[in-house]
Structure 1
Amino acid sequence: MSSDEKVVPRKRLSRDLRRRQLLDVAWGLVREEGTDALSLGYLAEQAGVTKPVVYDHFETRTGLLAALYQDYDARQSLMLDEALKCCEASLASRAGVIAQAYVDCVMSQGREMPGVSAALAGSPELEALKRDYEQPFLDRCHHALAAFAPSGTIGKAGMRLLVGAAEALSQAAAVGELPPEQAKQELSAAIVAMVERQ
């Protein structure tokens, strides 16, 4: 290097920004190459960091997949919370908002999320994550809908029905089996019917 050349130090990212960068790169890898290609070493290479940086954030491949699942869930919760704040207090409106937020979030992740879920299938981490993140979603939906139920509450079976219908219809939209708008309409109708039977 000549005396005229200057070494420009690379800006170090904060821990939170580095994690965000790694998750964004990981989502891109899953989208482009599938979850089978996702390893901590490959993520480090694609993100332009050393392997210890990636291991420090995720520890294992399962830890990385779990972090992707958590990232997706946080986005879904935010979308639902924002939508519910702006919606009118009617069963049809709230059912429509829940359906739209759920399907839109799945569509925003395209086919990546089913791959992440499949890669975690059978792992204790996935079961723990599902329990940790499904219940707050159920609680939000229950809070938004229970006042419209004839009994004033919604049973566990009804809430499980909501989640099952939401997953099935949104995944059908994500893989092109249904147009997203149809998935939203069907899910909204299913939510209304479920609440009215309570």
Structure 2
Amino acid sequence: MSTPPPDLPTQARRRLTRDERRRQLIEVSWRIAQAEGADALTLGRLAEQADVAKPVVYDHFGTRRGLLAALYQDYDRRQTAAMGEALAASPETLADKVQVIADAYVGCVLAQGRELFGVAAALEGSPELEALKRRCDAAFLEKCKAALDPFAGRGVSRTGLLGAFGAADALAQAAAAGEIGAGEARRELAAVLLATAQRAIAPDAG
């Protein structure tokens, strides 16, 4: 029996596991969203671009809504992991922690590209998917709060962090659109987060 030529992709030389296939489908989905926009992301289009039969895609995601949910969860997992690693390695000062959070937030948005906003907007079309996005966002916010609370006697205000991340979305979108620089977005977000934490340290200030 002849063997495949050595230059064939690994996935062409062996059968992918279920987890590997799901990872491949998610990566192809992000490429479609980047090239054609989130509206073009359908299960049929994904099957075509991934060179698999449609039942394979339906087996993994069920519906387009299921695919969109998987994409947002994939982004959220990577963003949270990147921030967690950076926080663990950073010096134990408030200024360093807020800068890590700002860098991770803006950096992950820019690394994913503008297609992220299309996926996030599509999630808002369904109550179930919108609830998923809120849960992911709330979990991310709580991780940030846990990183900043040790520097604030009363703990950082969750409401204040909600406002800070509203600013974070605007700054990250502006950076992704090229309206401001990535460094500027990171600095401005760090300043907003620092001010939020400092209000918990000295509540009467500002």
Fold shared, TM-score > 0.5 on shorter chain? yes
What is the distance in 1 between the residues matched to 2:3 and 2:39? 38
Q: Which residue of 2 aligns with 1:86?
A: 89
Gaps of 5+ in 2: 5-11, 201-206
* 1:137 positional shift: 1.0
1:137 to 140, 144, 147: 140
The answer as to whether partners of 1:66 and 1:125 remain within 8 angstroms in 2 is no
* 1:128 positional shift: 1.9
2:33 to 30, 34, 48: 30
The answer as to whether partners of 2:65 and 2:129 remain within 8 angstroms in 1 is no
Report the RMSD for the aligned CA atoms in angstroms: 1.6
In structure 1, what residue type is equivalent to 2:112? Answer: Q
2:75 to 72, 94, 97: 72
Q: Which residue of 1 aligns with 2:169?
A: 167
> 1:94 is paired with a residue of what secondary structure?
helix
In structure 1, what residue type is equivalent to 2:98? Answer: A
* 1:136 positional shift: 1.9
In structure 1, what residue type is equivalent to 2:78? Answer: R
What is the distance in 2 between the residues matched to 1:99 and 1:12? 40
Cα shift readout 1:8-50 (whole Å, capped 9, x = no counterpart):
6852110100000000111001111111211101110110100
In structure 1, what residue type is equivalent to 2:163? Answer: L
Cα shift readout 1:108-128 (whole Å, capped 9, x = no counterpart):
011110011122223123222
* 1:6 positional shift: 4.9
What is the distance in 1 between the residues matched to 2:167 and 2:91? 23
TM-score with structure 2 setting the length: 0.88
What is the distance in 2 between the residues matched to 1:152 and 1:89? 18
Over the matched positions of the two proteins, sequence identity in percent amounts to 54
In structure 2, what residue type is equivalent to 1:143? Answer: A
Q: Which residue of 2 aligns with 1:152?
A: 154
Cα shift readout 1:64-84 (whole Å, capped 9, x = no counterpart):
111111110001001100110
